[in-house]
């Protein structure tokens, strides 16, 4: 996988050469290049932003600079798409949330994805990370200040590029850099050969069919500062240990992330799972669990 990161603070990504990501680079699984957006400016001030149309606070990143940069990284020729009859319909459809197929005059390369971190976009999830770990080329465009001109992602969509915008959570960051390093770590650790022990990926939170939170972990000694590892974990009874872990996952998820329990398909639950969820006040007779009361 090749990764390009475009930012006005490319130094932010120097730490990528360290840590696990650094090892994957050494092994040749991925190559990463952090690029300075200002290298694509052609004015003396190297300006990348301008005041927002319609007023308001802050500055917005200019489309022209991003256009020069992304054309080069995507290997596309600049073009004026106002002639493309599909474009207006496409913009209207995007604004109204309809899904339309546009006539693609140019096909961008298969396996290339352009990602813009954006706090007003859909949430980035483990499923997105999994899907993106199969791609050949990912370009991240880090916005700073109040954001970027909304025509930038739309333009590349009409050019046939797979464009995504993601938020990493319900809080505000100053720019996309931290969000990109979060997405990058979630994606790259799923590339085959990246992790020392692939089993730990299968077991962890959010990765299974039903995305439950993981059970707590313990190691030796069995007693530390007067605190014991739960007896069941020391019993050596494999089936009982697995059942205890599963039940703890369900209870923990019920307490901390009931929204994840609501997404479970009841038909996939075992008899034991049902008992556990019922004990936590869930009705499991429908398609998905429904909270009906406090714990019993
Ligand atoms: Cl992707 N960007 C910024 N600036 N803030 C965020 C975010 C992204 N996700 C959550 N907050």
Q: Given this model, what pLDDT does residue 35 score?
A: 97
Q: Given this model, what pLDDT does residue 108 score?
A: 63
Q: Given this model, what pLDDT does residue 209 score?
A: 58
Q: Given this model, what pLDDT does residue 90 score?
A: 59
Q: Given this model, what pLDDT does residue 144 score?
A: 81
Q: Given this model, what pLDDT does residue 241 score?
A: 97
Yes or no: say if 281 and 264 are a contact pair by the CB < 8 Å rule: no
Over residues 109-153, the pLDDT tens digits come to 789 999 999 999 999 999 999 999 999 999 999 998 689 999 999
Mutating to test ligand 1, I would choose from 178, 182, 186 the residue with most ligand atoms within 8 A of its C-beta, which is 178
Q: Given this model, what pLDDT does residue 97 score?
A: 61
CA gap 19, 30 in Å, rounded: 14
Determine the distance separating the centroid of ligand 1 and the alpha carbon of 139, expressed in angstroms. 17
Over residues 159-174, the pLDDT tens digits come to 999 999 999 999 999 9
Within the chain, which residues score under 70 in pLDDT?
Answer: 83-108, 145, 200, 202-203, 205, 207-210, 295-296
* Lining residues, ligand 1, CB within 6 Å: 117-119, 166-169, 171-173, 175-176, 179
Rounded to 10°, the helix 19-26/177-188 angle is 60
CA gap 253, 258 in Å, rounded: 6
């Amino acid at each position: 996988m090749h990764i390009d990161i475009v930012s006005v603070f490319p130094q932010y990504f120097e730490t990528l050469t360290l840590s696990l990501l650094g090892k994957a680079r050494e092994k040749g699984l991925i190559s990463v290049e952090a690029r300075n957006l200002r290298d694509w400016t052609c004015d003396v001030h190297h300006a990348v932003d301008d005041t927002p149309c319609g007023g308001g606070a802050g500055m917005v990143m200019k489309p022209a600079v991003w256009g020069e940069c992304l054309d080069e990284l995507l290997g596309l020729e600049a073009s004026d798409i106002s002639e493309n009859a599909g474009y207006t319909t496409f913009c209207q459809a995007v604004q109204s949330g309809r899904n339309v197929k546009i006539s693609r005059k140019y096909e961008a390369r298969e396996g290339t994805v352009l990602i813009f971190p954006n706090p007003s976009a859909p949430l980035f999830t483990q499923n997105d990370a999994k899907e993106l770990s199969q791609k050949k080329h990912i370009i991240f465009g880090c916005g700073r200040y109040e954001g970027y001109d909304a025509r930038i992602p739309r333009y590349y969509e009409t050019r046939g590029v797979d464009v995504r915008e993601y938020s990493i959570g319900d809080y505000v960051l100053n720019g996309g850099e931290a969000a990109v390093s979060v997405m990058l770590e979630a994606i790259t650790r799923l590339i085959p050969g990246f992790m020392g022990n692939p089993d730990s990926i299968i077991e962890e939170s959010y990765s299974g069919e039903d995305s439950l939170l993981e059970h707590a972990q313990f190691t030796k000694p069995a007693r530390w500062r007067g605190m014991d590892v739960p007896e069941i974990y020391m019993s050596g009874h494999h089936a009982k240990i697995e059942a205890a872990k599963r039940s703890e996952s369900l209870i923990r998820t019920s307490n901390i992330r009931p929204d994840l329990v609501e997404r479970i398909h009841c038909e996939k639950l075992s008899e034991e799972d049902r008992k556990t969820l019922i004990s936590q006040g869930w009705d499991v007779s429908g398609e998905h669990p429904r909270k009906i009361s406090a714990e019993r």
